[in-house]
Amino acid sequence: MNEAFDVVDVIRTKRDRAHLSAAQIDWVVDAYTRGVVADEQMSALAMAILLNGMSRGEISRWTHAMIASGERMDFSGLSRPTADKHSTGGVGDKITLPLAPLVAVFGVAVPQLSGRGLGHTGGTLDKLESIPGWRAGLSNDEIVGQLEDVGAVICAAGAGLAPADKKLYALRDVTGTVEAIPLIASSIMSKKIAEGTGALVLDVKVGSGAFMKDAAQARELARTMVELGTDAGVRTVALLTDMSVPLGRTAGNALEVRESVEVLDGGGPADVVDLTVALAVEMLDAAGRPTGADEVRAALGDGRAMDVWRRMITAQGGDPDAELPVARHTEQVRARRDGVLGELDAYAVGVAAWRLGAGRSRKEDPVQAGAGVEIHVRPGEQVAAGQAVMTLHTDTPERFPRALEALDDAWQVAPAGTAVGQRPVVLDRIH
């Protein structure tokens, strides 16, 4: 068939810092999805976008074209409004697990389509799959039914949502163009908008354990995604949150599920609770059900959020009372002297958990349910010589040396009495 454009002309347009027209964008995304535009040609265009950027109009149109490559879900028939959360990924980021049932308590449905981990950042689906019987793959009808009945679902996104993104994401990964903010933003937002949620809260991480290490870049990404959501008619807000230190006291699949259940039971680490509550307040407000933080926090302490969690896990074939997997081998990292833990680098902890078997290098790699890092002492807390700072968990003890190597310079003990600055979990709000 005759094509509307020559791909080389489209590449040259962006190479020469000119704006792509709406028609050019619609055609090139569709033609790439159909296989008319070759990988090497789309690689050249992606690199031109990384180097020369895109205007708000171009990014919005690119996102629209990605959405148009597949199906759109529709939750307008539900008896309650919908709100979703997306995190750009971090270490120990188990927030989705307590957050989805917590928001559902207040009459807002949460269609949380999640992914698997790659590299040092953990995947929500990997965590939940450590629960015996739980399944990630649901049909669209099952998703809608569970949202109406339970109010929350955490599951895998179907292959029909933004297939252009799946193809382009794999290409960016091998061509050095992952960092292009227009392509990151459109990748995330095309899936979230196609998902059909009425409101969206973005948790954009910044720090050593985040994809975005630099605050200015993280802020630009957050602003771009908020604009894309707004342009598409989705009420969107972003929180910039700290990822210089791991969230909570665990990094690993079953370990993080245990910690999430503690939060749902009214306990758990303060930073995990605080971020869960902050995001829940934002989601409820964006969905038109404004609720105060104290009232939201109370639902964690009085069992309401736990009730929804148990129903959500059961609805997807899981047993909320089952024993979670435990790694067969452990090794402790101990302090050599008394003092105060001065720092704990999130990225290094994430790499250690990954090397222990909690993460994967390639999408097809298996993960160990019980593997990961348990953190006993956080920055600012006192530690004694010989005390365990961390416990490493794995089924394959030959992994310990490389995991320990990742942690070599990740933490240090400062003299007793040293003041250790504590960063707030939420750094900024962009709307």
The residues annotated as belonging to the active site are 86, 165, 172, 187, 191
- Phi and psi at residue 239, to the nearest 5°: -110, 130
Q: Which helix (H) or strand (E) holds 270?
A: helix 270-286
Burial-class residue 417 by CB neighbours within 10 Å (0-12, 13-18, 19+): exposed
Q: What is the dihedral angle through the alpha carbons of 409, 411, 417, 422, rounded to the nearest 10 degrees? A: 120
Give the separation between CA 250 and CA 185, rounded to whole angstroms: 29
Cβ atoms of 122 and 91 closer than 8 Å = yes
Length of the chain: 431
Instruction: Label each residue of 171-240 as H, E or C.
Output: HHHCCCCCCCHHHHHHHHHHHHHHCCCCEEEEEEEECCCCCCCCHHHHHHHHHHHHHHHHHCCCEEEEEE
Q: Which two tokens stand for residue 52?
A: 């020369």
